[in-house]
Structure 1
Amino acid sequence: MAPGDGSWILSVAGRWFYGNLSISRPLWPRPSFDFQNRTIRLTCLQKPTVFEYKDGGRGGLDESVGYANDLMLIARRHLNFTDVLVPSDGFGNKDRNGKWDGMIGVLQRKEADISPLDFTPSYDRSEVVEFGYPIGEDIILILSKAPVKITRPFLLLQIFSLQVWACIIGSALVLGVTLEILVKIESTVNHKSSLKTLFMKQVENSLKIFVYQGSDYWPTGVAGRLASVCGFLVALVVCSLYTGSITAFFAIPFRSKPIDSVDDLLRSSVRLAIRSKTNTYSTMVLDENGILYKGRDRVSLFSGTEISTWEFFRIIADGTFALVDVYSSAVGSANSFEKRNEKCKFYIGKEAVRTDADVFAFMKNSPVFYQFDNIMQWLRYFGIIEHTKKRYYSAACEVKDSSDVIKPMSVIQVQGSFYILGIGLLVGFFIFLVEIMWSKVL
C-alpha cells in the first residue's frame, strides 16, 4: 500500500492454497492523492504569461504568476504538498556528449520531480523524461507590425476600378454621340409616322416619368427616347452602386495589408526572427521540406533572452522583423509591451504556421506522475485550463479593427448595366430605321 508519504507498505492481499490463488483485495492499490505535505520540487524558468517567479524562486508558487503556475496551485490544493522551485535557464538541449541542459537536464539528474511548463514532446526528450497528458495546444504563429490606417485622398475615385471608370466614360460618350445623331436625323425626317399608335403614345407618356422632355435638343422620337431611358437607367444603377460602395468603404477602415499567413510573410520584404534553439528553426527552416525553407536567407536567429526585451520587440513594431514562434512565447512577451486602451503595436497572423501540443515534463519513473497527470486531465476536460489561459492572453491594448479591405468594383460586377445600355441602343437604332423606312413608303 502507498500511505502517501512516499513509502510503500506490504499488506496481505491474497494467499496460495493448494496451488490456487485466493484474492482478498485488489493486488494493485489505488495511488494516494494526499501527499501529506510532502515536498515536490518544480523546475521552471521565466516565461511571460506561462510561469514567472520572483526573488529567484524563493517565494514558491504563492509569489509566482502565469497560467501554469495557477494550475500548480490547483494541484497543490488537491494533493496537499509543499512546493520548492528549482529555476533553470532553458527548456533543454542535448550537447554532443548526450548531456542535457535546462529543465530537461534537471529532471534527468533527478533534481526535480516535475516541470510545469509548456513543453513540446519529442523523441529525444522522451528518452530521458516522461511527458504527461496534453494540457492544450500551442500554435506557432507570425507576430508582426500592427497594420496602420491608410489615408486615401482620392477615395471617391477608388470605389470603382480604372476599367469601370473607363467603361462609364466610354458609355457616356457613346450615348451622347448616339443621341446627337438621332436628334440631327429627326430634324430631317418626317416625325409623323403611322408607327405612333395609341400604344406607342402610352409608352412615350410613361417614359416621361424618367426622362425630361422639355429640351429642344432631346430626341422626340420613340427610338431616341428609348435610348435615353436606357442611358438614364444605367446612370441610376451606377449611381446606386457608387453610393452603396461609399458607405461600405467608410464603414470598414482601410489598413495596410497585414501578414496573416506564411505566403504573406514570404511575399513581403520583412525579415524572419526565430529563436535558434527551437524546433521551429530545425524543422521548418533547415529542412528542405520545411514551410519556411524558401525564406531561409531572410532568417535572423535570436536567443530566448533577447526576445523578452523591448530592443527586440521594437524592430517588430517598426516592421523590420516578424517573429515566428509559439503563441505563449510570442504573445506572452509582446503583451508586456502593450499598453491598455492604447493602439496595438503588434499583429497576430490569422493562419497558424503549425500546431503543437503542450505537456508537462516529469522525472523518469516519477512516483507523482499519475496524480498530477490525472488532475490535469480533469482540468482540461472541464475547460478549466482554457479558462485560465484566457485571463493571461487577453489583449491589453485597444482591440484591432477588421483588417479586411473592400476592393474596387470590377467591370464584371457592373457589367449588367452596360448590357442594358447596349441592348437599348441597338433596339433604339432598329426602331429608328424602321420609322425612316416606313415614312419613305408612305
Structure 2
Amino acid sequence: MIGMVSRREVEFAIDEITVTGAREAVLDFTKPYFMESITIVSRAPAEKSRAMAVFSPFTPGVWAALVVSVAIIGPLLAIVNHFTSFCLGEKHRFSTRDFAFNMFRNLVVQGNLISSARWPLRCIFFSWYLFCFYVCALYSGTLTAVLAIPAFEKPIDSLADLLRAVKEDGFSPLFIHDTSNVHILKEATSGIYKEIWDRFEPDSGYVFSANEGVDKVLTGKFGFINAWLASEIRISARGKEKYHLARQTYYPQRYGVALHSGAPYLTVFNKKLNPAGGIRPHRQVEARRDRKGVRERRWRRPPRRSRRHHPDASAGRLLRARSGAPRGILRSGLRGRLLQRARQEGA
C-alpha cells in the first residue's frame, strides 16, 4: 500500500498505517488521526501436566535434605546403640540396616518395629517421629492444594514476561514488517527494548499483516507485538479463548493518512483533523450533544410521588382534622406519637 502511494497509483491510503521516519522520507503524512498503545498477543496459557505432581510439594533442596536425613539417621542410631551397649556391657541386637529401614518406615507412615528401653535411643526416636510428623503434614497439605487447583503456564503480560519467555521457554517475538514497533526496538541502545531486539530472528519473526501475525501465534511459541485495538478485534473474531492479550501496554503509536509527496490536499486533511486525532465536526457534534444532555439532567426535576393511595394518607388526614396539627409537624419526628394518640382516641 505504501508502494502504491509512492508510485502515485493511488491518491492516498488509510488503513492503520503507522507514521515512521523511513516512511516520512518518501511520503507525506497527515496529522495523526488515531493513537493507540502497543500490546503483546500470545496463545492462551495451557494447563501444566500433573505427571510429576507427587514431587511438586517440595523444592529440590528439601527433597535432597530428606534423602540426607534418611541416610544419616540409620548410622547415627547404630553408633549410639553400639556405644550404649559397650557402656552397659550388653550385646546389641540391631544392625545399621535395621535402624535405617525402620526410620524410613516412619517417614512413609508405616510405623517402627524397633523398641528399646535405653533413653538415648528413645530421645532420638522421639525427635525422628516429630520430624516425620511435620514432613508428612506439610507434604499432604501442599499436595492436596496442588491437585485441587489447576496450574497453568505463566502468561505473557509485559515486555519483561516476553523477555523471560524468550530466554527460558524458547518464545520468539513477532513484528509486522517495517512498522513503528520495529523501529522503536531496532533503534534502542539499551534497556529491555535492546535485549528483545538482540534475540529477534528476522527469518521467522516478520509478518506482513496483523491477520497473519495473529494466526501465526497459534502455530508455535510466539509473542506478537502489535497495536491493542487491532489485536483485540482480530482475536475476538477468531475466539478469545485461544489467545492471551497482555495486561500491560507500552509506547503508543500514531496512525496517519499516507499521501504522495507534494499532494495538494494535504492541508485539507489537516484542517479536518485536530492535533489530538479525529474529525473536527464529529467531535464538535458530540461535544454539543454532551453539553445538552448535562443541561437537561441538571434542570430536570424528579417526579413528585403521589400520596393518594398511600396507606397512611387517610390516617394523616384524620389526624390533621382531629388535632388541627399543621402539615410541618406531620413531617417531623412527632408523627409516630400523634398517630398513636389518634388511634387511642378512635378506640
Could you say which TM-score interval applies, normalised by the shorter chain?
0.5 to 0.7
1:100-249 matches, within 5 Å, as: 101-103=12-14, 129-131=30-32, 138-190=36-88, 217-249=114-146
Match of 1:294 in 2: 198
2:20–2:179 Cα contact (<8 Å) kept: no
The match for 1:303 is: 208
Number of matched pairs = 242
Matches within 5 A, 1:242-261: 242-260=139-157, 261=161
Contact persistence 1:286–1:293 (CA under 8 A): no
Contact 1:141 1:324 in 2 (8 A): yes
* 8 Å contact kept, 1:144–1:323: yes
Deviation for aligned residue 1:317: 0.7
Considering only aligned residues, what root-mean-square deviation do their CA atoms show, in Å?
4.3
Contact 2:174 2:225 in 1 (8 A): yes
SS in 1 for 2:205: strand
Distance 1:118 1:378, change over 3 A: farther
Q: Note the C-alpha offset of 1:161.
A: 2.8
**Corresponding residue for residue 365 of structure 1:** 271
One-letter amino acid of the counterpart of residue 211, structure 2: S
Superposition deviation, residue 221 in structure 1: 3.5
Q: Specify which structure has the higher proportion of strand.
A: 1
Question: 1: distance between equivalents of 2:244 and 2:73?
Answer: 50
For residues 419-434 of structure 1, the aligned pairs below 5 Å read none
- CA deviation after TM superposition for structure 1 residue 363, in Å: 2.4
Deviation at residue 102 of structure 1 after TM alignment: 1.1
Letter in 1 for 2:137: S
Alpha carbons 1:138, 1:358 under 8 Å: kept: yes
Amino acid at match of 1:281: V
Name the counterpart of 1:78. Answer: none
User: Residue 355 of structure 1 aligns with which residue?
Assistant: 251
Mapped to 1, the partners of 2:287 and 2:19 lie a distance apart of 17
Cα contact 1:144–1:319 (8 A) shared by 2 = no
Q: Summarize deviations over 1:50-89 as a string: whole Å, max 9, x none.
A: xxxxxxxxxxxxxxxxxxxxxxxxxxxxxxxxxxxxxxx7
1:345-396 CA distances to partner (integer Å, 9 max, x unpaired)? 22223443x231678989222399555345678999xxxxxxxxxxxxxxxx
Alpha-carbon distance in structure 2 between the residues aligned to 1:377 and 1:175: 81
In the other structure, the counterpart of 1:285 is 186
Alignment correspondent of 1:330: 231
Could you tell me whether the CA contact under 8 Å between 1:147 and 1:256 is conserved in 2?
A: yes
Give the Å deviation of 1:168: 0.8
Is 1:346 the counterpart of 2:215? The answer is no
Deviations along 1:318-349, one digit per CA (max 9) or x if unpaired, are: 2154321011122321221117xxxx322223
> What SS does the aligned partner of 2:199 have?
helix
Provide structure 1 residue ranges, at least 5 long, that are not aligned to the other structure. Answer: 1-88, 104-116, 192-213, 381-442
Distance 2:256 2:229 in 1: 14
Residue 150 of structure 1 aligns with an amino acid whose one-letter code is K
**Distance of aligned partners of 1:374 and 1:237 in 2 relative to their CA distance in 1, 3 Å threshold:** farther
Q: SS of 2:170's equivalent?
A: coil
Contact 1:143 1:330 in 2 (8 A): yes
**Structure 1 Cα separation of the partners of residues 126 and 83 of structure 2:** 19
3-state SS in 2 of match to 1:218: coil
Q: Which structure 2 segments of 5+ residues have no match?
A: 90-110, 258-267, 291-347
Given that residues 214 and 231 in structure 2 are in contact (C-alpha distance below 8 angstroms), is that contact kept between their aligned partners in structure 1? no
Per-residue deviation, residues 186-206 of structure 1 (Å, max 9, x unmatched) = 345459xxxxxxxxxxxxxxx
Shift of 1:246: 0.6
Matched residue type, 2:198: K
Change in 2 beyond 3 A, CA 1:264/1:139: farther
Alpha-carbon deviation of 1:170?
1.7
CA–CA distance in structure 2, aligned partners of residues 142 and 156 of structure 1: 34
Identity of aligned residues (%): 17
The answer (yes or no) to whether the contact 1:183–1:219 under 8 Å persists in 2 is no
**1:242 to partner: Cα distance:** 0.8
Distance change >3 Å, CA 379–CA 258, structure 1 → 2: farther
**Equivalent-residue separation in structure 2 for 1:327 and 1:230 (angstroms):** 60
SS of 2:129's partner is helix
Residue number in structure 2 paired with 1:273: 174
Kindly state the Cα deviation for residue 229 of structure 1 after the two structures are TM-superposed: 1.9
Matched, 1:263 2:263: no
Paired with 1:264 and 1:333, the residues of 2 have a C-alpha distance of 26
In 2, Cα distance between the equivalents of 1:378 and 1:229? 83
Provide the C-alpha distance between the structure 2 equivalents of 1:153 and 1:220, rounded to a whole number of angstroms: 45
Please tell me the residue identity of whatever aligns with 1:356. P
Bigger relative CO (Cα 8 Å, ≥ 6 apart)? 2
